[in-house]
A and B are shown apart, each in its own frame.
Chain A
Amino acid sequence: MGSSPSTSSTRRNRLTYQSLAFLIMMIVPVFLYCAAKAEASEWLLILLGIMAMGMVLAMVVS
């Protein structure tokens, strides 16, 4: 039993966005750590914002 092309495409898109959200969750903290080490508070804020966007993306597409 197969799925229709539109369902399959929606599923693929959803997986792509979920993968993107997951990558943001895993990679941004590395930069957060570096920014904290460099005492760059403005970058900390920006990066934390990107992390939050990743979380929102995960909620929207899951």
Chain B
Amino acid sequence: MTGPPLTLFHWLLAATPIAVVLVLMVFLRWGAAKAGPAGWFAALFIGALVFRGELKLLAHSQLEGVLLTLFVLYIIWMALVLFQIVEAAGAIQVIGQGIVQLTADRLLQLLILAWAFSSFLQGVAGFGVPIAVVAPLLIGLGFDPVIAVASPAIGHSWSVTFGDIASSFNALVGATGLTGWELAPWSAFFLGVACFGCGLAVTHVYGGWPAVRRGSMALLFIGGSMALVQYLLAVHGLWNLAGFVAGMVGLASGALITRLPVYRNQPSAIRRETTTAKEKATSMHLWLAILAYAVLIFLVAAAELWSPLHHLLNQVNITVSFPEARTGLGWVTPAHVGKKISVFGHAGALLAYTSILAYVVYRVTGHLKRGELPGILTRTVHSAIPSSIGIASMVGMAMIMDRCGMTYTLAKGLSSTVGHLFPLASPFIGLLGAFMTGSNTNSNVVFAPLQKSTAELVGISIGVILGAQTTGGSLGSMVAPAKIIVGCSTAGLAGQEGKVMRITLLYGLLVTAIIGLITWLIIAF
């Protein structure tokens, strides 16, 4: 396989679609539904004219994009339906009051929800669900909407690799041909470091360094327990449960830390908010309010862990086979099967079952009135359509870039330019993949073989480099437009994704740089 020449000209052009999206969203504050198509056009023109992607190849790339888009949108649409049902029933307000009763400390509320709870949700659901669920809860608690979306985006990102029953980690294993035993220790180590980085970032987003100083005890306790549990499970072969259990332990640690005297003295402003929240109390019990999410957790866990149910739900799948494709520059994409969508076992389907159950329960208990369903569905469509356009166009862009060899050119250029500093760049390559595809899994599939080959050529530890790759890919979740769009759409911030991305991009790059530095130090010494 030859592929595109590695020149500065080709590298800059390969980077152009990403630069277009970034500049439009971050600096010109365009929404994803507008910036995505612009990036798609840039990728199409550059892919066809410079990287010589033929019409047939471009056509295949777009259908593959549709499969990936459907895979993501299935969850987003169903998560939105569930959220609209729960909100219409008044349950979101009740859950908010429950957290306020657990602790009236705003910082702890944020850490428990945006860091521990979102990591737990990533462990059982993933695919943007943590942001989609937590952002509205934080808004309900009175947090600024931009912080409400940025915090869970940052807070859950460390747990993506081992989250969702370790789907991204299993992709890393599959893409590299190495065993989980070889890859788990370094991956769990780097992700553990990232766990502290994400907690620190969430705290800093909220209140700067004074908040970090005040929250240091909680950061150490919650972060230490989550990172340690994930590491121990991963190195003992239980990587499929590592993210899920670490999130649970994080929640328990968060509840325990609220008992510390340092977090029991609340400033007067918080007391006022608590009083206001009590004034808004509804007749719904807390258990009924959280029922929908408890059912979701139960269903996802059962569907993943209980083999007979897993087998039963995953019998009907949609997928398409793609033949080998070659660009005019010799870049070959081997024949392969596109993204598989399990109609009844997909996380979106599980959200749909939960939505139906939640609607019936809230309807029977009188918390939803007759005739509210059309309103719920209309609100879902209103917030989902702009987000769906953004995702469809960006996935289409990423697919063109991948199939035309533009992504490969970018990664190769990055690794060969930095030379012996390659370990520093390694997590950034993972981050780039996740940014473009919105998925740690895709990042591992696309970039892990390249990173493995480069590590072999340079003669450095493959395990360390691949650990850094998947950690970068995991952290990429906080900057991936596809996930930011999900959060913004559920938080009523559609069209303002740029504001959130300015925050997540800064912290995402900082935490990734720390991982890169540690990787380099491990390799150097």
List chain A positions with a Cβ less than 8 A from chain B. 15, 18-19, 21-22, 25-26, 28-30, 32-33, 35-36, 39, 41, 44-45, 47-48, 51-52, 55-56, 58-59, 62
Distance, CA A15 to CA B494, complexed state (A): 13
B37's nearest neighbour on chain A, judged by CB, is A55
Residues of chain A lying within 8 A (CB to CB) of residue B396:
25
Within 8 A of A (CB), among B60-96: 60, 62-63, 65-66, 69-70
Contact of B62 among A18, A21, A32, A41 (CB under 8 A): A32
State whether A41 and B55 are in contact (beta carbons under 8 Å apart), knowing that A33-B320, A55-B41, A58-B37 are contacts in the complex: yes
Distance, CA A9 to CA B25, complexed state (A): 28
- Chain A CB within 8 A of B224 CB: no
List chain B positions with a Cβ less than 8 A from chain A. 31, 33-34, 36-38, 40-41, 44, 55-56, 58-60, 62-63, 65-66, 69-70, 320, 381-382, 385-386, 388-389, 392-393, 396, 495
Contact B382 A22 (CB under 8 A): no
State whether A25 and B41 are in contact (beta carbons under 8 Å apart), knowing that A15-B385, A30-B66, A33-B59 are contacts in the complex: no
State whether A18 and B66 are in contact (beta carbons under 8 Å apart), knowing that A25-B393, A32-B59 are contacts in the complex: no
A3: shortest Cβ distance to chain B, in Å? 13
Contact B389 A62 (CB under 8 A): yes
B399's nearest neighbour on chain A, judged by CB, is A29
Distance, CA A41 to CA B59, complexed state (A): 10
State whether A45 and B55 are in contact (beta carbons under 8 Å apart), knowing that A36-B60, A56-B37 are contacts in the complex: yes
Distance, CA A41 to CA B31, complexed state (A): 34
Contact A52 B44 (CB under 8 A): yes
Q: Is the interface of A mostly helix, strand, loop or mixed?
A: helix
State whether A59 and B37 are in contact (beta carbons under 8 Å apart), knowing that A22-B385, A22-B389 are contacts in the complex: yes
Distance, CA A44 to CA B63, complexed state (A): 13
Residues of chain B lying within 8 A (CB to CB) of residue A22:
385, 388-389, 392
State whether A26 and B66 are in contact (beta carbons under 8 Å apart), knowing that A15-B381, A48-B59, A62-B34 are contacts in the complex: yes
Distance, CA A18 to CA B31, complexed state (A): 13
A39's nearest neighbour on chain B, judged by CB, is B56
Residues of chain B lying within 8 A (CB to CB) of residue A19:
381, 385
Contact of A18 among B44, B58, B59, B385 (CB under 8 A): B385
Distance, CA A44 to CA B115, complexed state (A): 47
Contact of A32 among B31, B63, B69 (CB under 8 A): B63
Contact of A58 among B34, B60, B63, B320 (CB under 8 A): B34
Distance, CA A45 to CA B48, complexed state (A): 12
Contact A62 B386 (CB under 8 A): yes
B378's nearest neighbour on chain A, judged by CB, is A15
Distance, CA A15 to CA B62, complexed state (A): 24
Q: Is the interface of B mostly helix, strand, loop or mixed?
A: helix
A1: shortest Cβ distance to chain B, in Å? 15
Residues of chain A lying within 8 A (CB to CB) of residue B65:
29
Contact A59 B38 (CB under 8 A): yes
Residues of chain B lying within 8 A (CB to CB) of residue A29:
59, 62-63, 65-66
Contact A62 B55 (CB under 8 A): no
Residues of chain A lying within 8 A (CB to CB) of residue B62:
28-29, 32-33, 51
Residues of chain B lying within 8 A (CB to CB) of residue A15:
381-382, 385
Contact A33 B34 (CB under 8 A): no
Distance, CA A28 to CA B389, complexed state (A): 14
Given contacts A25-B389, A29-B65, A48-B58, 14 further A-B contacts (CB under 8 A): A15-B385, A19-B381, A21-B389, A25-B393, A26-B66, A32-B59, A33-B62, A33-B320, A35-B59, A36-B56, A55-B393, A58-B33, A58-B389, A59-B33
Residues of chain B lying within 8 A (CB to CB) of residue A59:
33-34, 37-38
Distance, CA A50 to CA B359, complexed state (A): 39
Distance, CA A51 to CA B36, complexed state (A): 14
B447: shortest Cβ distance to chain A, in Å? 25
B388's nearest neighbour on chain A, judged by CB, is A22
Question: What are 25 residue pairs bridging A and B, where the CB atoms are less than 8 Å apart in the complex?
Answer: A15-B382, A18-B33, A18-B386, A22-B385, A25-B396, A26-B70, A26-B392, A29-B62, A29-B66, A30-B66, A33-B59, A36-B55, A36-B60, A44-B56, A47-B59, A48-B58, A58-B33, A58-B36, A58-B389, A59-B34, A59-B37, A62-B31, A62-B386, A62-B389, A62-B495
Distance, CA A47 to CA B66, complexed state (A): 15
Distance, CA A21 to CA B63, complexed state (A): 16
Residues of chain B lying within 8 A (CB to CB) of residue A58:
33-34, 36-37, 389, 393
Contact A25 B320 (CB under 8 A): no
A27's nearest neighbour on chain B, judged by CB, is B66
A55's nearest neighbour on chain B, judged by CB, is B37
Residues of chain A lying within 8 A (CB to CB) of residue B58:
32, 48
Chain A CB within 10 Å, residue with most, of B44, B59, B381? B59
Contact A52 B41 (CB under 8 A): yes
A6: shortest Cβ distance to chain B, in Å? 18
Residues of chain A lying within 8 A (CB to CB) of residue B37:
55-56, 58-59
B444: shortest Cβ distance to chain A, in Å? 25
Distance, CA A13 to CA B35, complexed state (A): 21
Distance, CA A58 to CA B65, complexed state (A): 17
